[in-house]
Structure 1
């Protein structure tokens, strides 16, 4: 008997949601094409994400777009060139390559995430883990860089570049520009939706592990000493999330515990209040995609499992049939790591300004110099000396004068008498200070969400497939059909279909009986079907069938758009006061 997963994959391929890329050449692991319905479904998921994470927060979250290719220095600074790796192992017989930790997990049923090469190799040898394809012996475990390599311009080491594995770095390198656009006010978020690439070692899970996919991310910047996260109390004070803490996992506990979002912050279960806030929004978002709260939780990563940039990470997990659990989003407290590293490598100032409630008294040394003495001593070379002195800050010049030995100060090869300079200690009141903002990041993969939506929408009714898509993300919103395929019903149906296409993705349903047309609509997950029947020509009204209740209401043609709009917003159309047809 086919599993639910097998049925979903078969359905998705048959109905044009997705299929493996480059099929005519045998297919390519890690790449999938989206068909017409898949494109619509994914587009609706992306639009819904944008609504939850950007539009509803547009006063402090903005969206940008940056290239998918970046110079190698960007990913050297970000730490990816060194740390964005997995462990691979090659079969000595068929020479296929596999991800070592996945082979260990599949064979032993344990988590191997975070284990090093030596630990993985030891487990493989002690448990006689062999090639899953040919049964051959496996070689040594080695580190494999997951970045796709390319070049910008001619093939030269100086032009080395990578395809981005995340959208985040485009937001970090643009921090200063967006900070200025946001009038130098924290907190604020930068969102980005786009394609990313990860050279996975041996992807074998369909849409779940892809080498190219669409990512939806926010990098949220805030002052750690004053997070200004009042929205957590406005929008999440009544919300609870299920959390499986790292300390519980370390003790072998695998049952999540429900906790209020505000309690999670107050008790330091979640270190960053903004991380907690976006986890709350993530829960609401995935709820609207059709996943009930008791089928999702947030799993805290162990220190050995966290990415190099993270001080705390939670994976949003959804329960699925085939794998038991599936990560649909990651929530990382990236603190000051990325901005600090880009400042180190680029020498750009990526600071924010913190306003102080009371001024700080700063003591510093400054230096003054006698310009006439410079002119008298250097004569015609004085302009060159003034240019060198002007290139240095007063503090830097004071340090050089103070630390120099003897009666001369050597600056860029020029010996200047020390007597020309006068070092003074001064006190200043400062009302601002430079800070590196902390960062909380929610990150989603659109294709994984597409699969989750398919699994939770899939149902069977008397042997028929009924896709119960949430109305907001259903690929096709409305079907139109005549009760029988002849005029004048057909003529009215075609006219209505033409009109409704202005507002929705719609489908004209053709076929035999009206029952088969309804079955066709249910299989495609169409929420509403408009039927033109024998009363329509004389009365000017039609029936609207609700997919989930199978009940119909009779509605004047003039009210169609108003009723469908209400239904797509989540209103029960049976409650709108129109006659109900059982």
Structure 2
């Protein structure tokens, strides 16, 4: 068995991870967390909360896992949340087409379906199952569709990410944070993607746990007040330029921002916090890097995006976290679809005085001409800018009636106004964590084998902060005079809030080593 197989066997045997629905034959892409897996997952999530809720002052919310159709129409998931699919003409098995060419193209995500299929043909790639010929590549939407309520009145979707619940609650979050930027909301919960071929254990699931933060900032100021705390931390950056050379570059976060490797302080700060969190739960620093999205794979609206990637022996480098500056894309999309204003009024430090040219209608001339409509016509004129009043005639529509007015009936006056602030659409920094992938990484990076009396034993060397069992009580022998005090110790430790394992089976040596 290779390392991956040994970890999966240990995880099943010891109660970390079990394939779901085993009594009924199972289903790919679903796993249960057992008696040791569930507390390990919970402790990772609790440390994440310490970093991104307690220490940062972010607000945690909990939104429904089902969303109405309008949400995903605005977010782009209805039209663009799909994977390239190909199928075998012989055995009818289906595959992620881009995954079949990963050994040829380092980042196949940037290729079109036609380019993926061309690569498959040129390299004579057949069905991994039977060797049969593969079909042309086509798109497959990954969302689970459902109906809300009886009948077909309202279409819903299982959420493909937790982020949208925070975007659509933006107006209420803004009020909660007293109408001032910056602020952030976080959410930990289940998301759902109808993956085409989830064949890598918990690395690719159809139901999975995400921990996401949406940090709303003033687009005119992307510095960070706590940047000084992390600027001297050194880390391996796999920037666009470094990827061209094929070599990661170690540098400090201060240097990364100064050189323009990372777009700005705010993004660099949350990349650094992500790095600190991953080390705190036991991810090996020598198997961790941050890779910048290449220009041809970065979302068109993103200012910059970095993925935390870890090395796993069988799978190579895989993404476990993405940290992106999504600019104002999400709020603008929801504002346009919902017709709700999602801007923030940002006050200036000091009011600014400006000269403004205002329109002054000649009401003495408008009154006799338009009679009862004169006031409405005058207000319509005031609403126009000076540029709109140029030309031979001024054309308006008042109460549905088209009206033409000579420019001579309008004059202009320069007035001084005091500007106290302006409306802005916040930009969003989004750190998005795949908890299941992170948990498997902790298992992988904690695993080693040791020889005891000529026998190979599998060991998981967890950090104390995430260990699912905090204390073990192991009586030397299963005798009354030892068991009684041992049980009393176990109960006292439990009263102190510790998770305690009690074991009297087998020899003492095999129980703790």
For normalisation by structure 1, the TM-score amounts to 0.80
In structure 2, C-alpha distance between the alignment counterparts of 1:509 and 1:164, rounded to whole Å: 42
Aligned pairs for 1:269-418 within 5 A: 269-357=261-349, 359=352, 361=354, 363=356, 365-366=358-359, 396=383, 402=389, 409-414=396-401
Partner residue, 1:430: 419
Matched, 1:516 2:505: no
Matched, 1:242 2:240: no
1:267 Cα deviation after fit: 1.6
Q: In structure 1, the residue corresponding to 2:485 is in which secondary structure?
A: helix
Residues 399/173 of structure 1: CA separation in 2 closer, same or farther (3 Å cut): farther
Residues 237/377 of structure 1: CA separation in 2 closer, same or farther (3 Å cut): closer
Alignment check: 8 A CA contact 1:272 1:440 kept: no
Partner residue, 2:440: 451
Deviations 1:252-297 (A, max 9, x none): x222101111111122111132111111111111111212322211
Alignment check: 8 A CA contact 1:401 1:409 kept: no
Deviates more, 1:445-454 or 1:186-195: 186-195
1:499 Cα deviation after fit: 2.1
Alignment check: 8 A CA contact 2:216 2:427 kept: yes
Aligned length: 505
Q: In structure 2, the residue corresponding to 1:482 is in which secondary structure?
A: coil
Q: 1:93 aligns with which of 81, 90, 95?
A: 90
Q: What's the Cα RMSD here?
A: 2.9
In structure 2, C-alpha distance between the alignment counterparts of 1:365 and 1:99, rounded to whole Å: 61
Aligned pairs for 1:48-197 within 5 A: 48-58=47-57, 61-106=58-103, 108=104, 110-156=106-152, 159-197=154-192
Alignment check: 8 A CA contact 2:223 2:266 kept: no
1:248 Cα deviation after fit: 3.0
Residues 282/389 of structure 1: CA separation in 2 closer, same or farther (3 Å cut): farther
In structure 2, C-alpha distance between the alignment counterparts of 1:396 and 1:451, rounded to whole Å: 61
Alignment check: 8 A CA contact 1:480 1:493 kept: yes
Deviations 1:160-202 (A, max 9, x none): 3322211111112222221222122222221111111112111
| Structure 2 runs not aligned, ≥5 long | none
For normalisation by structure 2, the TM-score amounts to 0.90
1:402 Cα deviation after fit: 4.4
In structure 1, C-alpha distance between the alignment counterparts of 2:391 and 2:78, rounded to whole Å: 41
In structure 1, C-alpha distance between the alignment counterparts of 2:499 and 2:273, rounded to whole Å: 28
Partner residue, 1:256: 248
In structure 2, C-alpha distance between the alignment counterparts of 1:395 and 1:477, rounded to whole Å: 72
Deviates more, 1:172-181 or 1:327-336: 172-181
Alignment check: 8 A CA contact 1:367 1:397 kept: no
Residues 308/225 of structure 1: CA separation in 2 closer, same or farther (3 Å cut): closer
Deviates more, 1:223-232 or 1:402-411: 402-411
Residues 497/371 of structure 1: CA separation in 2 closer, same or farther (3 Å cut): farther
Residues 507/193 of structure 1: CA separation in 2 closer, same or farther (3 Å cut): same
1:307 Cα deviation after fit: 3.4
Residues 350/109 of structure 1: CA separation in 2 closer, same or farther (3 Å cut): closer
In structure 1, C-alpha distance between the alignment counterparts of 2:279 and 2:225, rounded to whole Å: 23
In structure 2, C-alpha distance between the alignment counterparts of 1:179 and 1:237, rounded to whole Å: 29
- Over 4 Å off, 4+ runs: 366-379, 392-395, 397-409, 414-419, 421-426
Alignment check: 8 A CA contact 1:187 1:227 kept: no
In structure 1, C-alpha distance between the alignment counterparts of 2:289 and 2:115, rounded to whole Å: 29
Q: 2:431 aligns with which of 415, 427, 442?
A: 442
Residues 52/370 of structure 1: CA separation in 2 closer, same or farther (3 Å cut): same
1:418 Cα deviation after fit: 5.6
Residues 153/425 of structure 1: CA separation in 2 closer, same or farther (3 Å cut): farther
Alignment check: 8 A CA contact 2:361 2:382 kept: no
Alignment check: 8 A CA contact 2:357 2:386 kept: no
Residues 360/354 of structure 1: CA separation in 2 closer, same or farther (3 Å cut): farther
Structure number with the bigger relative contact order (C-alpha 8 A, sep ≥ 6) is 2
Partner residue, 1:209: 204
Residues 139/367 of structure 1: CA separation in 2 closer, same or farther (3 Å cut): farther
